Amino acid sequence: MTPSQHAFAGRVAVIGWGSLIWDLDDLAPHVAGEWALGGGPALPLEFSRISPKRAMSLVVVIDPDCGAPCPTSAIASVRRDVAQAAADLGRRERARDPAHIGAWCARRGLLSGAQAAGGAVASWCGLTGAAGAVWTDLPRNFEAETGTPFTVEAGLAYLRRLGPESLAVARLYIGSAPHGTDTPLRRALAGCDWWPDPAAADADRSQGPADGGAARLSASP
C-alpha cells in the first residue's frame, strides 16, 4: 500500500478520471486533501460518450466493451456515509438518474452502478482499507446518438465531422485527461496529423480554458 492509498483507510473515496480531476465544482466542499493521481482502481475507459454539455464532443466513460484498462485517481470524501458521498457526486454531475452514480460499501457491497466497475472498485477498497467509494457511471451513448456502433474508426470519423467550436472543446477535453487515460481512441488520435500533438495539448492545459469561451471545461461530462 502506497502512502497515498493509506490515506483512504476507513474513509469513503471519490474515484475520478475525467474533468472531475481538474474541476471539482460543487464537490469541492465535500472532499478533503489532494487527488491521489493514478492511485485509484484500473477501469476500462474510452471516449465513447457524446456530451451535449460539451458541444457534442466525446468524453471518457467506463466502457467494458470498447475501453482499455486505465489507472484512475481518488480523493477522500468528508462523508462517512457512502450514500451521502454518492449524493454529493450526483449533484456535481447533474445526474438525473441515481443509477449513473456508482457506489460500493464495505459493509453492504455494490449499492449502484455497473458490476464491471464494482468488482474493480471493491478490490481497490480492500487493498486500501477504504470504507467505500463512489464514481460517475454514465454509459456509452455513441450508437444511440449516431446510429453507428462505437469503434475507434467511427470515433475518429465523428471527431473529424465536428465543427470548429465543438472540435476545440474535444481537443481541450481529451488533451486535459491524465496521460494514463491511454484509451484505444486516444492512441489512434496520436497518429492523426489533424489532431494536436501532446506538447500542444499540454500548453493549452497550462493556460487553462478561456472563461466564457467555447472550449470552457465546466462541470459534468
pLDDT of residue 53: 87
pLDDT, one tens digit for every residue, the chain (221 residues): 554 656 899 999 999 999 999 999 999 999 999 999 999 999 999 999 999 989 999 999 999 999 999 999 999 999 999 999 999 999 999 998 989 999 999 999 888 887 778 999 999 999 999 999 999 999 999 999 999 999 999 999 999 999 999 999 999 999 999 999 999 999 999 999 999 765 554 554 444 443 333 333 444 45
Give the tens place of pLDDT for each residue, 7-65: 899 999 999 999 999 999 999 999 999 999 999 999 999 999 999 989 999 999 999 99
List the chain domain ranges: 1-221
Percent of the chain whose pLDDT exceeds 90: 79
pLDDT of residue 210: 38
Per-residue HEC secondary structure of the chain comes to CCHHHHCCCCCEEEEECCHHHHCCHHHHHHEEEEEECCCCCCEEEEEEEEEHHHCCEEEEEECCCCCEEECCEEEEECCCCHHHHHHHHHHHHCCCCHHHEEEEECCCEEEECCHHHHHHHHHHHHHHCCCEEEEECCCCCHHHHHCCCCCHHHHHHHHHHCCHHHHHHHHHHHHHCCCCCCCHHHHHHCCCCCCCCHHHHHHHHHHCCCCCCCCCCCCCC
pLDDT of residue 3: 43
pLDDT of residue 202: 52
> Which positions ≥6 away from 87 have C-beta within 8 Å?
none
